[in-house]
Amino acid sequence: MAAEMEPPPLGDAGQTDFREIEDGEGFFVSTVTTLESPEPSSPDPPSMPAEGISTNGPKQEDISLDDDPEDLFAEATEEVSLDSPEREPILSDGPSPAITPVTPTAMLTPRMGLGTAEMFERSLDEIEEDDSGDTFDMHIAVSDPEKVGDGMNAYMGYKVTTKTSMTIFSKNETTVRRRFSDFLGLHSKLASRYLHIGYIVPPAPEKSIVGMTKVKVGKEDLSSAEFVEKRRSALERYLMRTVKHPILLKDPDVMMFLESSELPRAVSTQALSGAGILRMVNKAADAVNKMTIKMNESDAWFEEKHQQFENLDLQLRKLHASVECLVCHRKELSVNTASFAKSAAMLGNSEDHTALSRALSQLAEVEEKIDQLHQDQAYADFYLFSELLGDYVRLITAVKGVFDHRMKTWSKWQDTQLLLQKKREAESKLQFANKPDKLQQAQDEIKEEIEELEGKVQQGEKDFELISKTIRKEVSRFEKERVKDFKVVIIKYLESLVQTQQQLIKYWEAFLPEAKAIA
Amino acid sequence: MEYDPKHTSTVVLKPFSQSHGVGVARSVSVDLNNDASLLIDIPDALCERDKVKFTVHTKTTLSSFQKPDFSVPRQHEDFIWLHDALVETEDYAGLIIPPAPPKPDFESPREKMHKLGEGEATMTKEEYTKMKQELEAEYLAVFKKTVQVHEVFLQRLSSHPILSKDRNFQIFLEYDQDLSVRRKNAKETFGSFFKNMVKSADEVIISGIKEVDDFFEQEKTFLLDYSSKIKDSTARAEKMTRSHKNVADDYIHISATLNSLSVDDNTALKKFTNVEGRVASDEELKLTELLRYYMLDIQAAKDLLYRRARALADYENSNKALDKARLKSKDITQAEEHQQQCLQKFDKLSESGKRELTSFKGRRVVAFRKNLIEMAELEIKHAKNNMALLQGCIELLKSN
């Protein structure tokens, strides 16, 4: 099935990266050779670069850039480096996807991680230096949803406009057209690169089969218009959140997404694709994994933060539920107010006392206007408040995922250590083996393995420390962002409430003289 | 007041006149007659389980009463007894009998209390306290409402030139022992059931009868039409105020959760929820209750028309009987007498009916005016409050 097809791309992509590395630093040449043989035993990471993967169809067609799938990243590098000198150092030793296949067995081969982690650390520092120079000034707008095509193959195209004064971008203003699966593809790429080393990658908006089917079928009603608007707004927030992250902003895929006019279709994001099924399998494996890893937490900070995030998750979910309730009730209120307005108008009509009749009709009008107010308020309730909460609930899931990755990294390290121990024991046992002719060869082999494992243990420790450090930084950034985000939204929301109250005052003050005029 | 969801409790409410201010409580019905010779109010009420005990206080200068100032305890059923007694009095056929006060309905707050008890585990302490407070406020609102309608019923009677002199009314006000002996027993309840059936038959009569008087013709058309419209409006107004209350309740949950997130200072949001809740209950008091009361009142006016229509039908029947008697030359005097009686009754009904209906209209217009003004003023006041609160909150957040 699709799984069998996947290993080659792993190898390919791996090779590509090492080509970059070799260009830049020339690290770990020996490890390149081991990667060239595909490993059928290890399934691919849950989210592979979309370009390299096709499900059952031929891969070549999906790749618009080049015939040679291996050259994907090389291509990207060249394309991008033409634009600005600043980008080059970042890319050549920059965040290459340290693809860590996720399997239930501890015996993983993060060969690439060996090379990239150290470079990464260095480049991280460089990137931070860059940050101080170029202040964040960017605005992305997602607009103009347009239906493309017909029937079940139809989709919504969105216009993505990027306005920025930052020098890393080639132009001040770029406009491209993207579809939903493009966004998902971008997210899956970023997630595969950054999540397992501790970066909190903002989650993409959720799929909705029901919503999209309605749109595809061409149902031009209120609910499908609402659905499109909801999605558009979510996509915009997603992009803004992604670019606000200093590391993600500089990722080549992000830049490509924002700037290049054509993007290869991300088919692996389809729910029923081979990659999709693989994702589900891996998610299940992950869940089992989490339960079996028992980590000795030496760092109190992580313990505390973990607990904090659990709490936050609960509270946010609760709040989200309450706000959704509020939206629902307010919509109800609007409906009931409208129906009352109609009834009051009829009552006014049948009233034979003229002044009272007029007052009742006025009352009906006021209530009608108020109904409109309620509708608008419900809209604000939803878009400002409820969606923000939904975003954060999903973000927290990403944060928890990052903590889990740290656990996994620790567990890998420990497992490697155990393995080393076993090998050392095996070595000492060899002394008592009674095959003297093969002894030397066996001893050499074991020595080699031990050396290798020692290196791996060291790397594992470094990985663990790195991910811990990254997470600390990420968490503090996340907290700052969260407080800012919430504050901004709550202020906006309160202002919307204030406006509603102002309108109410206006309406009732206009009504009052009518009521007083009843003689 | 301690509301324990598991046990019912006795609640004593302090004199309403203190919380309302004298005169404000009588909102849905307005006294066109400024006669101070008989003043009635309900200063106090007690709630025991399902039963509400009202303290009916009378101040009078009339000599027909034994004392100038006295109070008696009464239950809702006593009010119903009085109402039915008045309706059944033939002499009052030409009058609009004020509608009986509806039974005190604690269903909604009781349901909420139950839900609150069940959901206690999932809420924070603060949220629970807040919800309890809201619940208490709602109980209080229901109380206020029921006391008001019972009070208004008595005041309508006391201001009516004829009904205020009714013997049963006097007994109701004065009799310092339990009225239950005089109240409906099973037989009488059965009788009233039949009466209701007759009434629906009356509706057919009233719409079919040929009206001789222009005034009544107009009134009939108007009342029939208005009655159905106001019933509709009342129902929708009820729905509206209930939705409003739901929204206010949601804000309670939200502010409680926000608090535990300690994202920002939530006291303003909490106050906002208070005000929202109050808007909903004030709206209800002014608008919904107004409509509900007049819906019932219009029913009473329609009842008057029915009685008159029945009298007219009787009169026409007596005419026919007289003609038949004259034909047969039998029992002519009897028939003539009967006819005279019917005519008299009909005329009396018509005369007093005209008076009643005219004053009814006047009363209605004034009451609507008063309530609509008060409601608009309250809405404005609350909206201004809300705005001030919210702006304060925004200032606080921005300054942080």
Q: At A14, phi and psi to the nearest 5?
A: -60, -40
Least CA distance to B394: which residue of chain A? A491
Residues in CB range of A456: below 8 A, 6 or more apart: A114, A416, A420
Q: Nearest CB to B390: which of A315, A319, A494?
A: A494
pLDDT for res B267: 56
Probe site for chain B from A311, A313, A336, A486 (most B CB atoms < 10 A): A336
The helix/strand/coil state of A271 is: coil
Least CA distance to B244: which residue of chain A? A333
A308 contacts in chain B (CB < 8 Å): none
Q: At A42, phi and psi to the nearest 5?
A: -100, 125
Report, as an integer, the average pLDDT of B148-170. 88
Q: At A162, phi and psi to the nearest 5?
A: -110, 125
Contact A415, A352 (CB under 8 A): no
Least CA distance to A313: which residue of chain B? B261
Q: Which helix (H) or strand (E) holds A143?
A: strand A138-148
pLDDT digits (tens, 9 = 90+) for A346-399: 888 888 788 888 888 888 888 888 888 888 887 777 777 888 888 999 999 888
Amino acid, single-letter form, for residue A183:
F
* The model's pTM: 0.69
Amino acid, single-letter form, for residue A508:
W
Two tokens, residue B353: 């009916």
DSSP 8-state assignment for residue B43 = E
B261 contacts in chain A (CB < 8 Å): 312, 315-316, 319
B400 contacts in chain A (CB < 8 Å): 487
Two tokens, residue A247: 């590391």
* Mean confidence (pLDDT) of chain A: 71
Contact A220, A137 (CB under 8 A): no
Cα–Cα distance for residue pair A41/A413, rounded to 1 Å? 21
CB distance B229–A347 less than 8 Å? Answer: yes
> At which residue do the structure tokens 């059944």 appear?
B88
CB distance A350–B222 less than 8 Å? Answer: yes
A348 contacts in chain B (CB < 8 Å): none
Name which residue leads in pLDDT, A430 or B164.
B164
Report residues of chain A scoring pLDDT below 70.
1-135, 218-220, 266-273, 275-276, 290, 292-294, 433-436
CB distance A505–B230 less than 8 Å? Answer: no
Task: Catalogue the long-range contacts made by A511-516 (C-beta closer than 8 Å, 24 or more residues apart).
Answer: A511/A362, A511/A363, A511/A366, A511/B372, A511/B376, A512/B373, A512/B376, A512/B377, A512/B380, A514/A358, A514/A359, A514/A362, A515/A359, A515/A362, A515/A363, A515/B369, A515/B372, A515/B373, A515/B376, A516/B369, A516/B373
pLDDT digits (tens, 9 = 90+) for B180-239: 655 555 445 555 566 666 666 666 666 666 667 788 888 888 888 888 888 888 888 888
A336 contacts in chain B (CB < 8 Å): 236, 239-240, 242-243
Report, as an integer, the average pLDDT of B63-92. 88
- For the beta sheet containing B11-13, the strands, ordered from the edge strand earlier in sequence to the opposite edge, are B11-13, B38-48, B51-60, B69-75
From B262's Cα to the closest Cα of chain A, the distance in A is: 10
pLDDT digits (tens, 9 = 90+) for A230-281: 888 889 889 888 888 888 888 888 888 888 877 777 666 666 667 667 777 8
Burial class (CB in 10 A: 0-12, 13-18, 19+), A9: buried
Least CA distance to B379: which residue of chain A? A508
Residue B62 has pLDDT above 50, yes or no: yes
Q: Which helix (H) or strand (E) holds A141?
A: strand A138-148
Q: Nearest CB to B394: which of A316, A494, A508?
A: A494
pLDDT for res A269: 63
pLDDT for res A6: 36
Probe site for chain B from A314, A506, A508 (most B CB atoms < 10 A): A508
pLDDT digits (tens, 9 = 90+) for A300-355: 888 888 888 888 888 888 888 888 888 888 888 888 888 888 888 888 888 878 88
Q: Which helix (H) or strand (E) holds B196?
A: helix B186-208
From B105's Cα to the closest Cα of chain A, the distance in A is: 22
Cα–Cα distance for residue pair B214/B326, rounded to 1 Å? 31
Q: Nearest CB to B361: which of A353, A360, A501?
A: A353
Two tokens, residue A190: 């970023």
The helix/strand/coil state of A115 is: helix
Cα–Cα distance for residue pair A165/A326, rounded to 1 Å? 40
| Angle at A496 (CA atoms; ends A493, A498), nearest 5 degrees | 115
Least CA distance to A517: which residue of chain B? B369
pLDDT for res B16: 36
Angle of helix A222-244 versus helix A180-194 axis, rounded to 10: 30
Cα–Cα distance for residue pair B18/B26, rounded to 1 Å? 13
CB distance A498–B387 less than 8 Å? Answer: yes
